[in-house]
Structures are given as C-alpha cells and as structure tokens.
C-alpha cells in the first residue's frame, strides 16, 4: 500500500454523466449487494448453527463466505454513494483504506482456495487418514494463514485522477513522479506470496488428485468429481476476474466502451461473492437440505 502527503483527495475518472439512469444503476448495484449479503450470511448461519457441518470442509467455506462479505463491503457502500454523487471524489486516507480492503480480499481468497484444495487432496488421496490429518488443531492455523501485510511507502504524486470507479493501487502508483522501485518490488513480492504460491499449491494438489483418480476405482473418481467441481469452478471464476482486473489496470483500454470497462472492473468484486454461495450451496447436499429445512421446515 502507498501513502502520500502531497495529495489530499482523488477524483474517479471512470464515471460519466448518465443523467437519470444513475438511479437505475443505483438500484441494480444495491440489489446485487443485497443478494451478496443475504446469500453469504445465510450459508454462514447454516454452517455455524448446525453441528453436523462443523467439519473442516465447511469451516473453510465459512471462512470463504466471510471474506466475500468483507471484500464486497469494501466496495459497494461507497460505490452506491458515488453513483448518486455529482462530484466523484474520495479523500486520500479513505482511498488507501479501500485499496487495502480490495487487496486483502484478493489475497485471502486465493489462500482460502489453496487451503480448500489441500483439504480435498487429503480427503481423496488419504481418505482413511483424513480425520486424523485434518483436525481442528490444523484447521484454525490454515484459516489464519491468509494474512495480508500492508506496506506504507511515501510517494510524491503529480496527479489525482484515477481512471476507475474505485481506488486501485497500481493506478495510484502510476500517478507518482517520484521513484517507485520500492513499490514495484513490494508489488512483486505481494503477487508471489498472495497469488503464485497458492496457485502452485493448488496445481500440486490437483496433480496428485488426478493421479489417484486415474489409478483408482470408479467410486473414487465420482467422489473426486463431486467434491472438486465446485472448488475448480470457483477457482477459475476468480482467476478470470483477477485477469480482467490486471488487464484493465495495466493496459490501454481507451478503445473499449466505458460501460464495458466499468462492468469488467466490478466483476472482480461482484461475481465471486454471488457465484460461490450459489455453487457450493446448490452442489453440496448437506447445505442444500439444511437450507430447505430452514425455510420449509422438516422435509
């Protein structure tokens, strides 16, 4: 993260005059945020209130849903205010706080997905030892491993316009007219720790899982497909959303319609918090049946 005493506020250049349509966009964004809050809270409550779901896999899911509430809350409330505002500015401290929230959300998300892949690896490759290997003593440290380290490096900024609808660390660094080598080194270390290492762990666990499935029985393959499909779908969705974010921040997107650019930038913090509760909630029989009993009584 960066810090600067030279700029007191930033202006968002991603907004444009849409007249009365801003109220329609406000309602759409507010509905999306309400869906994210309700869907993730519902599954958190279901997992916490039912002792039958107090297993490692569901505790990792609970951590995933909590992080999605954190990430979306770092974006949507302020975004709703900005949509209705005619002056799209943000104070520098609040901008840096939003940058921290967005980057912390991304780091925790990748770490959660990597820990979940390790859990699936133990369940499929070592099913008889799973209960002794994945104990509560291991679950808590694995959930806590997703920690983001913030770094404050003073930069002298020569501008204050961010061409986006929310604060982005890379775009703020681009405004600097001082030496940014320290920030670039930190950004590289952050990428390795938060993205490369978790992805390598996920790749390793799935290579092992595919080897077991290839040489195992039909029942083993069916178990692997049913337990790994939601995780793989979530991983691919989040990886593509991160790719969209990187492309938009680092390449010239002036030829892309501004509305499409806004949608791609919001995909990063919108689709994953909606996608995961639907995917895991519909795919996992235990969660699905408990949600039904919660709304419709005993089945």
Alpha helix stretches (DSSP H) within the chain: 21-49, 56-73, 76-84, 92-125, 130-133, 136-144, 169-174, 181-191, 197-215, 218-250, 258-283, 285-296
Residue 87 pLDDT level (bands cut at 50, 70, 90): confident
Contact (Cβ atoms closer than 8 angstroms) between residue 29 and residue 76: yes
Given a cut of 90, whether residue 259 has pLDDT beyond it is no
Query: In this structure, which long-range contacts are made by residues 192-200, counting pairs with CB atoms below 8 Å and at least 24 apart in sequence?
Result: 193/107, 194/103, 194/106, 194/107, 194/110, 194/111, 194/148, 195/106, 195/110, 195/242, 197/114, 198/110, 198/111, 198/113, 198/114, 199/110, 199/114
**pLDDT the model gives residue 260:** 77
Evaluate if residue 5 carries a pLDDT over 60.
Answer: no
126/130 Cα distance (integer angstroms): 6
Q: What is the mean pLDDT of the chain?
A: 78
Partnered with residue 161 across adjacent β-strands are 11
CA distance 80 to 149: 28
Kindly state the DSSP code that residue 8 receives in the 8-state scheme.
S
Could you read off the pLDDT of 125-171 as tens digits, one per residue? Answer: 877 777 676 665 566 566 655 444 444 455 677 778 888 888 888 78
* CATH number 2.60.40.1120 given to 7-296: no
For residue 2, which phi and psi values (nearest 5 degrees)?
-120, 165
**Model confidence pLDDT, tens digit, residues 228-249:** 888 888 888 888 888 877 777 7
Calpha distance 220→145 (Å, rounded): 30
In this structure, which long-range contacts are made by residues 116-119, counting pairs with CB atoms below 8 Å and at least 24 apart in sequence? 116/57, 116/60, 116/61, 116/64, 116/231, 117/201, 117/202, 117/205, 117/206, 117/231, 117/235, 118/142, 118/201, 118/205, 119/56, 119/57, 119/60
Is residue 108 within 8 A of residue 146, CB to CB? The reply is yes
Would you call 89 helix, strand, or coil by DSSP? strand
In tens, the pLDDT along 264-297 reads 778 878 888 998 888 887 777 777 777 777 666 6
19 torsion bin: left (phi>0), alpha (psi -120 to 50), beta (else): left
Rounded distance between C-alpha atoms, residue 56 and residue 226, angstroms: 17
At 161, list the tokens: 């316009």
| Contact in structure between 112 and 73 (CB atoms under 8 Å) | no
């Amino acid at each position: 993260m960066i810090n600067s005493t030279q700029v007191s506020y930033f202006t968002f250049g991603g907004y444009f005059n849409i007249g009365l349509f801003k109220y329609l966009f406000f309602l759409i964004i507010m509905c999306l945020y309400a869906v994210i809050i309700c869907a993730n809270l519902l599954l958190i409550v279901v997992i916490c209130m039912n002792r039958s779901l107090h297993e490692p896999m569901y505790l990792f899911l609970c951590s995933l849903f909590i992080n999605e509430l954190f990430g979306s809350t770092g974006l949507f409330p302020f975004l709703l205010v900005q949509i209705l505002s005619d002056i799209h500015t943000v104070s520098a401290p609040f901008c840096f706080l939003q940058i921290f929230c967005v980057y912390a959300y991304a780091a925790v998300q990748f770490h959660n997905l990597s820990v979940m892949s390790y859990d699936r690896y133990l369940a499929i490759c070592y099913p008889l030892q799973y209960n002794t290997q994945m104990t509560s003593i291991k679950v808590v440290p694995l959930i806590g491993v997703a920690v983001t380290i913030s770094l404050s490096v003073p930069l002298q900024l020569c501008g204050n316009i961010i061409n986006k609808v929310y604060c982005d660390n890379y775009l703020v660094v681009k405004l600097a007219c001082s030496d940014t080598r320290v920030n670039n080194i930190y950004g590289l270390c952050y990428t390795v720790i938060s993205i490369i290492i978790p992805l390598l762990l996920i790749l390793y666990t799935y290579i092992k899982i595919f080897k077991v499935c290839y040489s195992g029985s039909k029942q083993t393959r069916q178990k692997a497909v049913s337990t790994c499909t939601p995780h793989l779908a979530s991983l691919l969705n989040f990886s593509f959303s991160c790719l969209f974010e990187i492309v938009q921040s680092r390449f010239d997107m002036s030829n892309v319609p501004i509305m499409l650019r806004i949608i791609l930038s919001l995909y990063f913090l919108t689709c994953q918090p909606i996608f995961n509760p639907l995917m895991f909630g519909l795919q996992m029989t235990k969660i699905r049946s408990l949600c039904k009993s919660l709304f419709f009584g005993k089945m």
